[in-house]
Amino acid sequence: DTAVSQTPKYLVTQMGNDKSIKCEQNLGHDTMYWYKQDSKKFLKIMFSYNNKELIINETVPNRFSPKSPDKAHLNLHINSLELGDSAVYFCASSPRRGGGEAYEQYFGPGTRLTVT
């Protein structure tokens, strides 16, 4: 009955590799997000994705590309991994976008990415 799930929980890889993190939500939400949490615990938005509309945060390198096969899934693909990409990545989802109000977001358990 997990609301927002991510796989894998841990990911260790070498510089230069390409990797993907998967996210699924069973809450029926319309909007999904990716956040990055660095070693100092600082949380920062990377992307939001509402149905087929992707909103890209300009500070995110284009090596990062989210892909949404359907409304319940938002995967994060990272090309040419760098040491600085090491962090915990969180997926989140929120009920809907519209009506002029922000809605609560629910987070997944996170994926700890370590690039060596």
Partner 1 sequence: GENVEQHPSTLSVQEGDSAVIKCTYSDSASNYFPWYKQELGKGPQLIIDIRSNVGEKKDQRIAVTLNKTAKHFSLHITETQPEDSAVYFCAASQFNNAGNMLTFGGGTRLMVKP
List the x/- string, 28-67, binding to partner 1 by CB under 8 A.
Answer: ---x-x-x----xxxxxx--x-x----x-x----------
Q: Is 100 a binder of partner 1 (CB under 8 A)?
A: yes
Rounded distance between C-alpha atoms, residue 6 and residue 20, angstroms: 11
d(CA 105, CA 98): 14
Q: How far apart are CA 52 and CA 55, in angstroms?
A: 10
Binding site for partner 1 (CB under 8 A): 4, 31, 33, 35, 40-45, 48, 50, 55, 57, 90, 94, 97, 99-110
